[in-house]
């Protein structure tokens, strides 16, 4: 394997995109020496991180996430912001995540000097992908990106994970309200701070207006994700680049409301706390499963449990006992 070079700290802080890309590559490496260098680099970047607005974006494939991020990203750049786009997509490690395949839909943003686009890390397991994305957020912040967009495709637990690493979670929806309301997982709707009905253009515009009314009704039935904010239902046409101003206004209102109530900082603190414990859990579980004292016992007990010979409670107690007396 090729040795990873350590990028220059100053170059990252100056926002040099090549240095940023190098830092991310270093952190994604699994080589032990690179891991250490990556962690050291991250520590030194930490005092410069944390100042961005982190936005998570999700929605079913085809809803227009890539097109929306292109339109919204360019709008933000017009407002004087620097924008980084990251992805959490454990489903396609080979293609390099959703963003790579969609670079054509983000062609202008991808080339813009004020933007940085990075596909999903391809380490496979969702937990690992999420951890690397969290670290990438910190690097991008140290490099001076004001807005970090984390895109995810709606698969499994990825929305929950992305929601746990951003300040604001935006759900994109299609205009055909009836079907969509059936299809969307209630849990995902509950994570959303902003719901944007996209493709509100042409013949679909009237459908989108109806959908907006429907979602406003439906949202009352759900418990809001934040105490100092009521989720807003908005519309956009990512294709025609319309609705971006209203969405940005709503994002600002959201940030003001949460900062005023203290919920902004509370959420950030809760997120880093959870991040810490998820790392501990992951490492412990890894140790546990790989420990020689348990290596042979685990499959035996698993079989005994799945065939109904012993209770999971009994098996767990036995495993823990072997672990403690290892």
Ligand X SMILES: Nc1nc2c(ncn2[C@@H]2O[C@H](COP(=O)(O)OP(=O)(O)O)[C@@H](O)[C@H]2O)c(=O)[nH]1
C-beta separation of 33 from 121 below 8 A: no
Residues 69 to 128 in contact with ligand X, rule: CB under 6 A = 102, 105
Residues 217 to 276 in contact with ligand X, rule: CB under 6 A = 237-239
Residues 101-120: x where in contact with Mg ion by CB under 5 A, - otherwise, as a string:
-x------------------
Q: Is residue 141 a contact residue for Mg ion (CB under 5 A)?
A: no
Among residues 57, 71, 18, which one has the least CA distance to residue 165? Answer: 57
Q: Which does 61 bind (CB under 5 to 8 A by kind): Mg ion, ligand X, none?
A: ligand X
Q: Is residue 67 a contact residue for ligand X (CB under 6 A)?
A: yes
Instruction: Tell the smallest beta-carbon distance from residue 238 to ligand X (Å).
Output: 4
Residues 37-76: x where in contact with Mg ion by CB under 5 A, - otherwise, as a string:
----------------------------xx----------
Residues in CB range of 47: below 8 A, 6 or more apart: none
Q: Is residue 188 a contact residue for ligand X (CB under 6 A)?
A: no
Provide the H-helix boundaries in 192-243.
Answer: 205-219
CA atoms within 13 A of residue 239's CA, in its CB half-sphere? 11
- Residue among 82, 131, 199, 235 that touches ligand X (CB under 6 A): 199
Residue with token string 């680099």 = 41
Residue with token string 């209770």 = 311
Vertex 185: Cα angle to 181 and 187 (nearest 5):
125
Instruction: Tell the smallest beta-carbon distance from residue 292 to Mg ion (Å).
Output: 45
For Mg ion, the closer of residues 65 and 235 by Cβ is 65
Instruction: Tell the smallest beta-carbon distance from residue 61 to ligand X (Å).
Output: 4
Strand order across the 53-59 sheet? 115-117, 83-88, 147-153, 53-59, 168-173, 194-197, 232-235
CB-CB neighbours of 321 under 10 Å? 10
Q: Interface residues with ligand X (CB under 6 A)?
A: 59, 61-67, 102, 105, 198-199, 201, 237-239
Q: Interface residues with Mg ion (CB under 5 A)?
A: 65-66, 98, 102
């Amino acid at each position: 394997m090729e040795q990873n070079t350590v990028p220059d700290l100053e170059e990252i802080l100056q926002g040099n995109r090549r240095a940023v890309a190098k830092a991310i590559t270093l952190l994604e490496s699994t080589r032990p020496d690179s891991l250490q260098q990556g962690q050291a680099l991250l520590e030194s970047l930490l005092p410069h991180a944390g100042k961005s607005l982190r936005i998570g974006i999700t929605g079913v494939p085809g809803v227009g996430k890539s097109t929306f991020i292109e339109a919204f990203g360019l709008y933000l750049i017009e407002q004087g912001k620097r924008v980084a786009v990251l992805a959490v997509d454990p489903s396609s490690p080979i293609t390099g995540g959703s963003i790579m395949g969609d670079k054509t839909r983000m062609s202008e943003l991808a080339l813009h000097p004020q933007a940085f686009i990075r596909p999903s890390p391809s380490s496979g397991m969702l937990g690992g992908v999420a951890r690397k994305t969290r670290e990438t957020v910190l690097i991008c912040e140290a490099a001076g990106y004001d807005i970090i967009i984390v895109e995810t495709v709606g698969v499994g637990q990825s929305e929950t994970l992305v929601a746990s690493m951003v300040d604001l979670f935006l759900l994109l929806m299609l205009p055909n309200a009836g079907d969509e309301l059936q299809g969307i997982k209630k849990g995902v709707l509950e994570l959303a701070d902003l719901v944007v009905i996209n493709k509100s253009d042409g013949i679909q515009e009237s459908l989108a207006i109806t959908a907006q009314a429907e979602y406003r009704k439906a949202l009352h039935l759900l418990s809001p994700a934040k105490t100092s904010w009521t989720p807003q239902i908005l519309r956009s046409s990512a294709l025609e680049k319309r609705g971006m101003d209203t969405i940005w206004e709503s994002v600002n209102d959201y940030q003001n409301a949460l900062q005023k109530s203290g919920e902004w900082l509370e959420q950030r603190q809760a997120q880093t706390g959870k991040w810490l414990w998820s790392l501990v859990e992951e490492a412990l579980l890894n140790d546990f499963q790989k420990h020689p004292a348990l290596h042979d016992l685990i499959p035996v007990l698993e079989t005994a449990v799945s065939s109904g010979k012993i209770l999971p409670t009994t098996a767990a107690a036995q495993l823990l006992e072997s672990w403690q007396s290892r």
